[in-house]
Amino acid sequence: MKRISAICSVYMLLTIATACSKNGNEKYNNESNGSDTTKEVVKPEDPSVAASIGLFMDTWTPKNFTAPFYTEVAPPTSTEYTVNVDASVVLTKISPALFGNNSNPYMSQIVTEPALMQHITNLHPRIIRFPGGNISSVYFWNRQPGNPPADAPAKVLNADGYQTDPGYWYGGNTVGWTLSVENYYNMLQTTGNEGIITVNYGYARYGTSADPVAAAAHLAADWVRYDNGRTKYWEIGNESNGTWQTGYRIDVSQNKDGQPEYVSGELYGRHYKVFADSMRKAAAEKGKTIYIGAQMLEHEPAFWANNVDKQWNAGVLQQAGAAADYFIVHSYYTPYNTNSNPQEVLASATTVTKAISDYLSTTIAGSGTTMKPIALTEWNIFAVGSQQMVSQVAGMHAVMVWGELMKNKFGMASRWDLANAWENGNDMGLFSQGEAASGETKWAPRPAFYYQYFLQKFLGDRCINATVSDSSANINAYASTFTSGEVSVTLVNRAGTTQNVALSFKNFNAGARFYWYVLNGGEGSTGFSRKVFINGAGPSGVAGGPEGYTTLKAYAASTGNGVKIALPPMSVVNLVVDKK
């Protein structure tokens, strides 16, 4: 026995000596892949920043991947499909502003809600819009409740021509159910995010002073002064073309500067320049630089649309195309108030995102205007009737939208919204407000929260190409690289069955191991489920995801037999492959 042990010891020493005689790279490659073959990898050059991203890339920073704690899992031995990942060309650096969200003034003071604050900190959307939505058109940021400006009328016209209560909102309101301006800033500072602020354009229309445009622009400029450089991104108005917007139609008998009864893109464009001039001067006084967006429509108006919509983009571009720092669009992807099924919801992520990109490119070029960065400052789905908005399908859709926004080179996006109202599950809120009918605890994250969290956790900093070998596979693939060298792949299985895929790489040598998280719905996972399971861990209640999501271990496997992965029905897999 001793003699055999001695022989084994000599053999082991010889093996180690042989391995050590090779260069360091060869030794690492052998240990990582069990192979002496390593293809030469050329680091691709970064492309110039696309005009449609522009200034939103200014805060880009490199990302380095740190391997997570993991549980070893055996990958499938056979696969039906191949996902080809091409690291030879960088499509674009990934804009850090794509993963934003919207706050609103009816979701609490936020800073008084520690659970919500912790979730926002963990999610780190980077951009949080305020006050957002239609409220922007009746919002007086520096006023106390019940104290509007003297030139803000007690009644305004709605689209049907009836005098209505405008329902003004006030930034100085500190009661618990609303969000004050000051606590918006406090929330951003505490959670490590930054803002995008929508100023009140409607006031320029319904104001009763001798020069309502100047009064509204002055109000906006005063906010810029008060902000003092804390916010870089600003918007003038919210969906001002919409019939639902205060200021769309005004009582001309109260107007003193000769404005027409109905808004138009041309009028908005002229007013934009007045606002922007006042706001930029205010920023310059403080030694700060700000960027101001102008509103556009994201699609060709239907034949039955009103003339305001049909002429909106042309008018805005004619008047403000050169002056705008970026262009703003909104999209709610699925048909309005329609009980869309899961496949219809998911398909919209691809078709609608590309359609927005194509339409804006054509419209802007056709007007003779130079392309500007594109900001999708509100987006979600309009699907109702089957609790689509609070389901895992909404999370899958969100992942696909972000993937498509990267591929189509959008500059900024902010999903609507952090919290809203239950409405029998027709609730766009990322967090529950704890209504009894929902069965959720207050500030419980909805499934879409977890899909965003794990996407960002495993997303690199440069977008590269990924294609599926069979277009009928019902699989979407999105790939990126880290500055530290690893490759990230996000796979969305839209099918109702498990599908096994193999990853094939170009200009990348896989290292020793790959790591992944699987996100899929609970019962009825091929339909709409209010639950999401992550690597098998699910919620303790009727909805949401696992409580300990920040400490969940990844799955991991050796790359020795290739990178193969099983995609459960209606699932998202976020995966990172080691570098050699």
Between CA 561 and CA 15 the distance in angstroms is 23
Phi, psi of 232 (to 5 degrees): -90, -35
Q: Tell me: the pLDDT tens digits for 117-147?
A: 999 999 999 999 999 899 999 999 999 999 9
Tokens 């096994």 correspond to 500
Give pTM, 2 decimals: 0.93
Residue 133 is given by DSSP the state S
* Tokens found for residue 259: 């404005």
The helix or strand, by DSSP H or E, that contains position 84, with its residue range, turns out to be strand 81-93
Between CA 171 and CA 179 the distance in angstroms is 8
H helix and E strand count, the chain: 12, 23
- Which 3 state secondary structure label does DSSP give 138? helix
Between CA 569 and CA 491 the distance in angstroms is 12
Domain boundaries, the chain: 1-38, 44-50+60-94+461-579, 95-324
Instruction: Count CA atoms within 13 Å of residue 559 on its CB side.
Output: 25
Closest CA to 539 of 448, 451, 444: 444
In this structure, are residues 505 and 486 in contact, taking their beta carbons and an 8 Å threshold?
no
Rounded to a whole number of angstroms, the distance between the first and last alpha carbons of the chain is 40
Tokens 């790489």 correspond to 505
CATH 2.60.40.1180 fits 44-50+60-94+461-579, yes or no: yes
* Tokens found for residue 318: 């004619």
Which residues are paired to 1 by β-bridges?
none
Q: Which residues contact 85 (CB under 8 A, 6 or more apart)?
A: 464, 465, 466, 477, 479, 487, 489, 503, 504, 505, 506, 508
Tokens 């002064």 correspond to 225
Closest CA to 427 of 451, 446, 408: 446
Between CA 154 and CA 138 the distance in angstroms is 12
Instruction: Reply yes or no: is the peptide bond before residue 335 cis, omega within 30 of 0.
Output: no
Residue 490 is given by DSSP the state E
Closest CA to 491 of 572, 401, 397: 572
Q: Which residues contact 13 (CB under 8 A, 6 or more apart)?
A: none
CATH 3.40.50.2300 fits 95-324, yes or no: no
In this structure, are residues 24 and 580 in contact, taking their beta carbons and an 8 Å threshold?
no
pLDDT at 524 (0 to 100): 60
Residue 438 is given by DSSP the state G
Tokens 């084994």 correspond to 8
Low pLDDT (below 50) residues in the chain? 1-36
Q: Tell me: the pLDDT tens digits for 293-339?
A: 999 999 999 999 999 999 999 999 999 999 999 999 999 999 999 99
Between CA 305 and CA 452 the distance in angstroms is 35
